[in-house]
Amino acid sequence: MTLTHPNIGEKRPVIRQLDEGAVNRIAAGEVVERPASAVKELVENAIDAGARRITVEYADGGKTLIRVQDDGCGLTADDLPLALSRHATSKIDGSDLLNIHTFGFRGEALPSLAAVGRLTITSRTETQEGVEISVSGGQSSAIRPAASLQGTTVTLRDLFFATPARLKFLRTDRAEAQAIGDVIRRLAMAEPFISFILRDVSGDGAPREIFRADAQQGDLFDALHGRLSRVLGREFAENALRIDAEREGLHLTGFAALPTYSRGSAVAQYLFVNGRPVRDKLLVGALRGAYSDFLSRDRHPAAALFIDCDPNLVDVNVHPAKSEVRFRDPGLARGLIVSALRHALAEAGHRASTTVAGATLGAMTPEPTGARVYQMDRSFAGPRPQAFAPRTPQFDEAAAPWGRVEEIPDTAMEEAAEPQDYPLGTARGQVHENYIIAQTATGMVLVDQHAAHERLVYEKLKNQMAEKGVASQVLLIPEIVDLSESDCTRLMDHAGDLARLGLVLEPFGGGAIAVRETPAILGTVDARAMVLDILDELTDQNSTDTVKVRIDAILSRVACHGSVRSGRRMRAEEMNALLREMEATPHSGQCNHGRPTYVELKLSDIERLFGRT
C-alpha cells in the first residue's frame, strides 16, 4: 500500500510572491485579533501623537464601528499614504530595534486594519488644512480636503468584512464591548495625565458613556493614585500601598493592595513595562510569590505595578501584539517585585483593609422585615395605665440571648492605659472565649485571639530560622534522580540557593543528581518529587520557591498548634499584651491564610448601625 502526503502533489510546488493585500490580511491575523485589538492599536497611536484627550466610540461591540478621535499632532496630506503603507512608521528609523520609547513601532496596524475593514482617516496639523483618505479592503481612495480640528480621527467600519471567516470567531457584542473597556482602562492607568472617554453608539439612541477618566494633576504618584481610584475603584485606592523601589537600572512604582483586600481571581492585576500594558507570566509569578506568605491558594492579590527601565534592558519586539516582553535579566525584575512588595507589606504593620469593617457592618445590619411602625401608631385593646406600670427588670445572664461577656475586673481596668495611647486600643472584655473587645480613641476593635496569636508565633519562627539558618538532615542513602543533562545543568545552577534552605544536591554523572541532605523541619520527604517540582518551577519561572514554601507551610502549622487556642479565657494583662505585640509585628493584620485578625469599627459606624446619626 502506497501512502501519499496530503500536502505534496505529483508536481513540484511553485514558489510565488503574495500580493500586498494578501500580506496585509495575513498580518492582520496577528495584529488584529478582535475589535479590542483594533482599539488598542489606534489609541496607542493617539498617545504616541502627543494627544491630551482621546475619545473612543464603538457600535455593536466594535464589529460595525470603531472611531478614535484625538487632539495630537495630526497628519499632513503627504503623511496619509505613507501611514497606510506596510512597515512605514515615524517611531523608529530601523537602526536600533531595542531603543524604543513609543507604544507603536512596527508600522503594521493601519495597513492591517485597512486590509480587513473600511478605514477612514481624517486629520489636521497645527499649520495645515484638514485632509481625509479612505481605504476599503485594501483599495485606497484619493486624498481630499476635510473639515477637522487639530488631531486625527480614525473611523473603522465593518471590521473583518474582507475576511468573513474571522467574524465567526468573534464573541457576543457584550463580550467584545467588555474587552474594549478593559483595553481602555489599562491604557488609562498607563497614562494618568491624558483624558479618556469611551462611548457606546449602538442603535439609534443617544450615545451612552461607558467610561470617563479626566486628566489628573499633581506629581506622578498623586496622579496615578487618582487614576487608579477612578479605574479600579475607591476601595482599592484606600487599601493600596505605595510602591517605589529601584535596583540596577529597573525602577518599580505603583500601588499594591493589602492582603486582606484580595480577590477570588487574578482580574485585578495590572502590569506595565515602560508604560506598556503587558501580560507576562514572569511578572505575574513574581507578584504571586510576593504574597505567597499572606494569601491562600484560592485568593489573588490586587496591584497596579509599573516597571521603567532603559529600553535596551527589555525586548518588546517579541510578538506583533506587543503584549509580551523579555527582560535581559529576568531574575532582576522578579527579585525587584518580590522584595519591594514584601518591604511595603512589612511597613504596613498590623494594618488591615477598610473593606473588613464594611463587610462587618453589612453582616450586622438587620434586613428590613416590613414597614416601620411607630409607638404612637400602635392600637391597644385594653386599658393603657397598667401597660406602663413600672417594673423592675430581672436578668438571667445564662439565658440572655446575647450570651456571656467576660468583663475585665475594675482593678485591671484602672491599671490599663487609656485607649487613645494605642492604635488597637485597650482590652475591655472577651466574648465566647475567642474574641477580644478593645476600645480605641475613635471606636472599637474586635480581635480573633487565635488567628492573631498564630500570626505572631509564625513571624517569630521565621525570624528565628532566618537568624540560625535552616537545619538539614543527611540522608543515610542519597536519593539518585535521573534527569536530562539540560535539566541537571539548570538545577545545579541554583544549587547554592537550595543549599541555604537545607536541600543539598550534587551532580552524579551524566544527567543524574544525588540528593545528599534535605531540610530537617520537613521530616521524611519524597526527594525525587521535590526535585521534579523545583525543576518544573525553574522551567516555568526561572526561579524556585518550592522548598521555602514547604518550610513556611510547616512553620505555619507549628504556629497554629503553638498559639492561643479558641475557648481559652484570657486575663486582662494577656489580652493587652497580645494587642501590643500585634502593633509591633509586621503582617499581624492577617492570619497565615490571609484572613483578617481584627475588625475595627469607628464610633460613627457604630452610631450609624443603631440609627443615631
Q: Where residue 283 sits, what CATH number does that domain have?
A: 3.30.230.10
Residue 96 pLDDT greater than 70, yes or no: no
Last residue of a domain, one of 213, 246, 263: 213
> What nine digits make up the cell of 531?
526535585
Judged by DSSP in three states, 187 sits in: helix
Q: How does residue 3 score in pLDDT terms, banded at 50, 70 and 90?
A: low
pLDDT over 70 (residue 55): yes
Position with higher pLDDT, 213 vs 385 = 213
Burial (Cβ within 10 Å: 0-12, 13-18, ≥19) of residue 161: middle
Domain-ending residue, one of 170, 185, 213: 213
Output 125 or 28, whichever has higher pLDDT.
Answer: 125
For the ranges 110-119, 402-411, 453-462, 573-582, the one whose mean pLDDT is highest? 573-582
- One domain for residues 413 and 560: yes
Please give the residue that has the higher pLDDT: either 108 or 513: 513
The torsion angles phi and psi of 215, rounded to 5 degrees, stand at -60, 135
Whether residue 206 is found in the same domain as residue 310? no
Kindly state whether residue 516 falls inside one of the protein's structural domains.
yes
Q: 119 with 80, same domain?
A: yes
Would you place residue 522 in the very low, low, confident or very high pLDDT band (cuts 50, 70, 90)?
confident
470 with 511, same domain? Answer: yes
Work out the average pLDDT over 439-463.
Answer: 88
Distance CA 81, CA 65 (A): 22
Q: What is the CATH number of the domain that holds 458?
A: 3.30.1370.100
Q: Is the pLDDT of residue 612 over 50?
A: yes
Asked whether the predicted pLDDT for residue 387 surpasses 70, the reply is no
Average pLDDT, the chain: 82
User: Is a pLDDT exceeding 50 seen at residue 397?
Assistant: no
**C-alpha–C-alpha distance, residues 430 and 575, integer Å:** 9
In 3-state terms, what secondary structure has residue 461? Answer: helix
Q: Of 183, 213, 243, at which residue does a domain stop?
A: 213
Same domain, 76 and 184: yes
Same domain, 231 and 115: no
Same domain, 318 and 359: no
- Retrieve residue 42's grid coordinates: 489606534
Q: Tell me: do 255 and 357 sit in the same domain.
A: no
Q: How does strand 65-70 pair with strand 208-213?
A: unpaired
Question: Which of residues 357 and 532 earns the better pLDDT score?
Answer: 532
Count of other CB atoms within 10 angstroms of residue 599: 18
Q: Does residue 390 fall inside a structural domain? A: no
CATH code of 169's domain: 3.30.565.10
Percent pLDDT > 90 in the chain is 33
| Residues 151 and 48 grouped into a single domain | yes
The reply to whether 387 falls in a domain is no
pLDDT of 549-607, one tens digit each? 777 777 777 777 777 877 888 889 999 999 999 998 888 888 877 788 988 888 888 88
Tell me, what's the pLDDT at 374?
44
Residue 389 is assigned to a structural domain of this protein? no
The confidence band for 357, taking pLDDT boundaries of 50, 70 and 90, is: low
For 18-33, what is the mean pLDDT?
69
Q: Are 84 and 106 in contact (CB under 8 A)?
A: no
pLDDT at 458: 86
Q: Per-residue pLDDT for 435 more than 50?
A: yes
Q: What is the pLDDT of residue 393?
A: 44
Alpha-carbon distances of 163 from 113, 114, 134, 190, 318, rounded to whole Å:
11, 12, 18, 33, 26
pLDDT score of 390: 45
Average pLDDT over residues 373-402: 44
411 or 221, greater pLDDT: 221
The predicted model scores a pTM of: 0.74
- Look-up of cell digits 537545607: 502
CB 250 within 8 A of CB 332: yes
User: pLDDT-derived band of residue 251, with 50, 70 and 90 as boundaries?
Assistant: very high
Backbone angle region of 527, left / alpha / beta, with phi > 0 → left and psi within -120 to 50 → alpha: alpha
Q: Specify the higher pLDDT residue, 6 or 286.
A: 286
Task: Say if 583 falls within a structural domain.
Answer: yes
Is the pLDDT assigned to residue 142 strictly greater than 50?
Answer: yes
Residue 579 in any domain: the answer is: yes
**The three grid cell numbers given for residue 197, joined into one nine-digit string:** 472617554
**How many domains would you assign to the chain?**
3
**Whether residue 477 sits in one domain with residue 516:** yes
Give the model's pLDDT for residue 256.
94
Give per-residue pLDDT as tens, 359-370. 666 666 555 544
Taking only the tens place, the pLDDT of each residue in 339-354 is 999 999 888 877 777 7
State the residue range of the domain holding 224.
220-347
**What is the predicted pLDDT for the residue at 39?**
95
399: confidence class by pLDDT, cuts 50, 70, 90: very low
Beta bridge partners of 209: 199
In a domain, 382, yes or no: no
Question: Is 396 a domain residue?
Answer: no
Percent of the chain with pLDDT over 70: 81
- The rounded distance, in Å, linking the Cα atoms of 132 and 97 is 31
Q: By C-alpha distance, which of 219, 323, 215 is closest to 271?
A: 323
Identify the pLDDT of residue 405: 47
pLDDT in tens, 68-94: 999 999 999 988 888 888 766 666 555
Measured CA to CA, the distance from residue 108 to residue 481 in angstroms comes to 49
Statement to judge: residues 326 and 358 lie in one domain: no
What's the alpha-carbon Rg for the chain, to the nearest Å?
32
270/355 same-domain check: no
